[in-house]
Structure 1
Amino acid sequence: MRSKKKRRLTVTQKRTSPAAKVAEVITKKYKSRYLKSPSKGQRVRRALYDVKTKKRPTPKERSEVVDSLRDVSSVTVRKHFLLENCVIKGYHKFQIRPPDTDPHTMLPVDREYTNTHDPNACLIWIPPLDTFSREIHETVTDAKRGLLLQDVAGLPIGHIPLGLSSSFRKILDEKGDIFAEATGDPTPSFPPWPAPTDCGGGTVIPCNYHIYHIHKDFVMNLLRQALINMPEGEFIRLQLV
């Protein structure tokens, strides 16, 4: 009987811990709008099946659709751009660490439509739980707060720097994809970024940003101009991978 009481008490404590409350608040505020793009196979199935009429195409129509998708995929090869020596802002507010995996987890960047301070604001998200192997669902992401991967998957962990928000927003609007790769632990904001006690400072997570888009000149011009306008721009390295 004593062991049962102890188990119940432990569960109650875990549910009402400060860390669990923080995760619950963030879950309610930010419903993950990040959805994976349909795979090529899914696009083929959707193109070959008319949901309204429930009619399957003839063999000829099927071959035409598959050929058109093959032609498009062969022409539109996406370029990979890398921004090094960057940070994820706002850890002191979100207090959620990204999972420490090998290789590093790619954290999707998406638009934040409800931000009243910056209309171009973008959030960095931890991918949904079903994108991770079941073996690591109970991996501890924050020992101090007692958070597991299954507690924080699908939640935002911070914002992109203000100086990059406008260019990132345009890239996303033009069907590009952006991911953050955490390269260090949360730390007080450091030079060239604002001091921890200054506006825009606080606690940050060192990272690299990976950008994918089909138009090289469009992305390079946007990012180069953004870096020129940023006080920290000269310390950020931009390259085409």
Structure 2
Amino acid sequence: MAGESSNKKCKRSASSSLPPQMPDSSGSRGGGEVTVDGAVIKGYHIFRRRPMLGMRLPVQPEPDNALDGDAMVVMMPSLANIKTEDLDVVTDRKRSTKVRDIAGKVVGRVPMGLSAILSRMKSAGELAEITCVATGEPRKSFAPWPMPGEKGGGVVIPCKLHLQVTNRERTIEALRATFQSDLGPEKDALSVALKSSHDLLVNKETT
């Protein structure tokens, strides 16, 4: 018995001296969520709908858009997909609009250049789902987005885009490359974050 007790003490002592195991960073190569911050929802002057801040809004292709084959619209969720306690939240006091009044309707569009990038990646099977979260109230367009009075300018809604991806590491590399090659000044507003246990920021372009 004394020998067994001594062996157990040795085992506990040995295990306590081992360094703590570090988390496996290879998870970034698997599927998960990537967030694009600094984006905007366009088209408020057309649709005049204010989404509820913080609500996940589905982003869908707009195949009947004759001007842009890669157009993507930001939708309010359907009534069935909205929490009961959110249905009567007022999103526009001037028009007395509640969440239930705009359920299932178009809020706006993803900016043209960004929608083209996301459309290609979705067609390639790299994106399983795209959602959008409004982070601010409608406001006049601001730099580096086109200014009011310029082509593509007007009123915008600040937002984040959430991408459900099949390979986070590859998606981040692809977004970084295409933002630089395919976008204009607006690329400087966008940052890409890998949503992990530490919410690690992996890409913020600096000049």
TM-score over 0.5 for the pair: yes
Superposed counterparts of 1:7-86, under 5 Å = 78-86=31-39
State the secondary structure of the residue aligned to 2:163.
Answer: strand
Equivalent of residue 128 in structure 2, options 176, 188, 194: 176
Task: Judge conservation of contact 1:182–1:205 (CA < 8 Å) in 2.
Answer: yes
Q: Distance in 1 between matches of 2:87 and 2:140?
A: 28
Larger-gyration structure (1/2): 2
Distance change in 2, residues 1:216/1:135 (3 Å): closer
The match for 2:175 is 223
Matched, 1:87 2:40: yes
- Distance in 1 (CA, whole Å) between partners of 2:165 and 2:100 is 31
1:191 aligns with 2:143: yes
The alignment's TM-score, normalised by the length of structure 1, stands at: 0.63
**Which one of the candidate residues 154, 168, 188 is aligned to 1:234?**
188
Q: Structure 2 length as normaliser, TM-score?
A: 0.73
8 Å contact kept, 2:30–2:168: no
Q: CA deviation at 1:122?
A: 0.4
Deviation at 1:99, TM superposition (A): 1.5
Letter of the structure 2 residue corresponding to residue 225 of structure 1:
A
Does 2:60 match 1:110? yes
SS, match of residue 118 in structure 1: coil
Q: Which has the higher contact order (CA 8 A, sep 6+)?
A: 2
> Is residue 108–residue 126 contact of structure 1 (8 Å, CA) maintained in 2?
yes
* Backbone CA RMSD of aligned residues: 1.7
Matching residue's letter, 1:122: M
> Which protein is richer in strand relative to its size?
2
Greater helix share, 1 or 2?
1
> Is the partner of 2:188 in helix, strand or coil?
helix
- Give the aligned residue type for 1:123: V
| Cα distance in 2 for residues equivalent to 1:186 and 1:124 | 14
Residue type of the alignment partner of 1:136: D
Distance 1:78 1:126, change over 3 A: same
Aligned AA (2:92):
D
Alpha-carbon offset, residue 117 of structure 1: 1.0
SS in 1 for 2:50: coil
CA offsets 1:35-94 (integer angstroms, 9 cap, x no match):
xxxxxxxxxxxxxxxxxxxxxxxxxxxxxxxxxxxxxxxxx9522111111111111111
> Does 2:76 match 1:126?
yes
**Deviation of 1:132 (Å):** 1.7
CA distance in 2, matches of 1:88, 1:226: 20
Q: Is the 8 A contact 1:89 1:160 kept in 2?
A: yes
Identity percentage of aligned residues: 34
Residues in 2 aligned to 1:184 and 1:79: alpha-carbon distance in whole angstroms: 25
In structure 1, runs of 5+ residues without a counterpart are 1-75
Counterparts of 1:141 and 1:235, CA distance in 2: 26
Number of aligned positions between the proteins: 163
